[in-house]
Structure 1
């Protein structure tokens, strides 16, 4: 018995429409399913990643903000593999997304950088 890969990562957003736009239009993730749960006043949006994994985007009334950035206890950031960090970072900047300067991982020698979703969730680009 062994773990195979990540199935999904769940993200709670404060502004559902802004986050839906960011993940589907800027990051270009495809919608698998979108459901509204009236009893919870909550949307659940399933987004497909190219490797078969998913991001679940949730909305809830008045979610508490992230305690600190990025060194809060719990999930630190979500990282995406890309063919070229520089090319994808330029694409994000053209879409008015602020991107940190590209750095080199001291252990692997691979380029990486960080940017944030509409709620300030740290996202990373990591070169294959």
Structure 2
């Protein structure tokens, strides 16, 4: 049987590297592990951590194609972060001028959650612990 230990990282290709870097570090509070510029690809690679755990890679490429549709497109649906206080999290993001949907309740777990979008309109979910 295949044994998977954990999710190692999630990779995101952005359209505006500085905007995405600011969003993921200054707004979401992820910390930079390493930042590399790959001249041959005209691409940045930004490795980010949450609480010391490496989790997200941000890539920039010249003129990447747009995502075909909202979360219902085939492929990765969204990135979700667990939080202790869902209302406090939403209030913090709204105060940073991040558009947020209203808090909803998961019909199966009864936990609260909501979505925002990153600078490339990729869906990010916040889910209560």
What TM-score comes out, normalization by structure 1 length? 0.97
Conservation of the 8 A alpha-carbon contact between 2:33 and 2:54: no
Helix, strand or coil: the match of 2:53?
A: coil
The answer for the alignment partner of 1:106 in structure 2 is 107
TM-aligned CA deviation for residue 85 of structure 1? 1.1
What is the rounded CA distance, in whole Å, between the counterparts of 1:74 and 1:123 in structure 2?
A: 14
Aligned equivalents of 1:80, 1:53: Cα separation in 2 = 14
1:2-48 Cα shifts (integer Å, max 9, x gaps): 11111100000000000000000000100000000000000000000
How many residues get paired? 128
Q: TM-score, structure 2 length as denominator?
A: 0.96
| Aligned residue number for residue 62 of structure 1 | 63
Q: Is the 8 A contact 2:83 2:126 kept in 1?
A: yes
Residues 6 and 53 of structure 1 are in contact (CA less than 8 Å); yes or no, is this contact kept in structure 2?
Answer: no
Aligned match of 1:123: 124
Unaligned runs of 5+ in 1: none
Aligned to 2:46: 45
**What is the match of residue 7 of structure 2?**
6
